[in-house]
């Protein structure tokens, strides 16, 4: 069996066992996970079987790509539609960026660490050359106002407290934010905006790397 077909088999097994069988029902999410080879977003020393394990993996510089279930769960909480604009804070490996683009979103993704951003851009565009994605290298602690408002904002690292200004960057007609919140003990939170009205919902306990708050000069 060549590695391309074993990759597709492992992907199908991951989608069935780690996503569909445990409550990920959105077909667009499942199809996107089928399309994106996870091994292209982790260091080459990680073997194919390990790349498809349902656990986080190191991506260098002390950062990790989340386990597939958590990525899918957050996307399901986000309830984004194809054509929606999405801000992703924490590009990291670019894996989730690729999943969002494969679902037909217009993505703006922001990453603090230039080396990760460069690799992520390469990896994503190799698979999805025509994707509608803007890669920004900057501090995204308080979002990215130049391209706001967004239909969806997804944060892939955890701040101790809710950063200022993120809700203001949501589309006032039902824009939604999904973010892991907390220091050591973290929870996934979603916030839905309707005008000035914000509805917050708490979900799973999680463990993310910290959302770094760079010192402002
Ligand atoms: N979604 C990513 C997960 C990456 S881990 C993936 O699929 O691989 C979280 C990322 O957030 C790290 O790459 C880290 O460098 C980045 N990050 C942390 N604080 C940040 C900040 N203030 N602005 C932008 N990116 C940040």
The per-residue pLDDT for range 174-188, each reduced to its tens digit, is 999 999 999 989 999
pLDDT tens for 160-174 read 999 999 999 999 999
Please give the class, per CATH, of domain 55-206: alpha beta
pLDDT tens for 88-134 read 999 999 999 999 999 999 999 999 999 999 999 999 999 999 999 99
- Domains in the chain: boundaries: 55-206
Nearest residue by C-alpha to atom 10 in ligand 1: 90
Find, among 156, 160, 163, 170, the residue nearest to 199 by Cα: 170
Nearest residue by C-alpha to atom 17 in ligand 1: 90
| Nearest-angstrom CA–CA distance, 56 and 59 | 9
CB-ligand 1 contact for 141 (6 Å cutoff): yes
Q: Is-contact 187 202, C-beta < 8 A?
A: yes
**Burial category of 181 from C-beta neighbours within 10 Å (exposed 0-12, middle 13-18, buried 19 and up):** buried
Residue 66 annotated in active site: yes
The pLDDT of 75-95, averaged and rounded, is: 97
pTM over 0.85: yes
Instruction: Indicate the pairing of strand 85-89 with strand 173-181.
Output: unpaired
Which atom of ligand 1 is nearest the CA belonging to 214? Answer: 22
CB-ligand 1 contact for 211 (6 Å cutoff): yes
Nearest residue by C-alpha to atom 22 in ligand 1: 141
- Which pLDDT score, from 0 to 100, does residue 5 have? 83
Which atom of ligand 1 is nearest the CA belonging to 110? Answer: 24
Q: Which of 5, 66, 156, 190 is catalytic?
A: 66
CB-ligand 1 contact for 109 (6 Å cutoff): no
pLDDT tens for 17-70 read 999 999 999 999 999 999 999 999 999 999 999 999 999 999 999 999 999 999
pLDDT higher than threshold 60 for residue 217? no
Q: How far is CA 121 from CA 20, 95, 125, 134, 170, in A?
A: 28, 10, 6, 9, 25
């Amino acid at each position: 069996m060549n590695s391309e077909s074993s990759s597709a088999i492992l992907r199908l097994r991951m989608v069935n066992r780690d996503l569909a069988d445990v409550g990920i029902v959105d077909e667009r999410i499942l199809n996107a996970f089928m399309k994106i080879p996870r091994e292209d977003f982790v260091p080459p020393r990680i073997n194919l079987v390990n790349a498809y394990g349902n656990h986080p993996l190191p991506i260098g510089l002390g950062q990790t790509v989340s386990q597939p279930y958590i990525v899918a769960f957050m996307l399901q909480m986000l309830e984004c539609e194809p054509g929606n604009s999405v801000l992703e804070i924490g590009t990291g490996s670019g894996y989730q960026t690729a999943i969002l683009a494969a679902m037909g979103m217009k993505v703006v993704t922001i990453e603090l660490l230039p080396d990760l951003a460069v690799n992520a851009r390469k990896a994503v565009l190799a698979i999805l050359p025509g994707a509608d994605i803007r890669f920004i290298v900057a501090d995204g602690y308080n979002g990215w106002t130049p391209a706001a408002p967004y239909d969806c904002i997804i944060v892939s690292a955890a701040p101790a407290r809710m950063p200022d200004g993120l809700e203001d960057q949501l589309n006032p007609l039902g824009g939604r934010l999904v973010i892991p919140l907390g220091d050591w003990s973290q929870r996934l939170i979603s916030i839905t905006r309707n005008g000035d009205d914000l509805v917050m919902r708490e979900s799973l306990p999680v463990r993310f790397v910290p959302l770094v708050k760079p010192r402002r000069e």
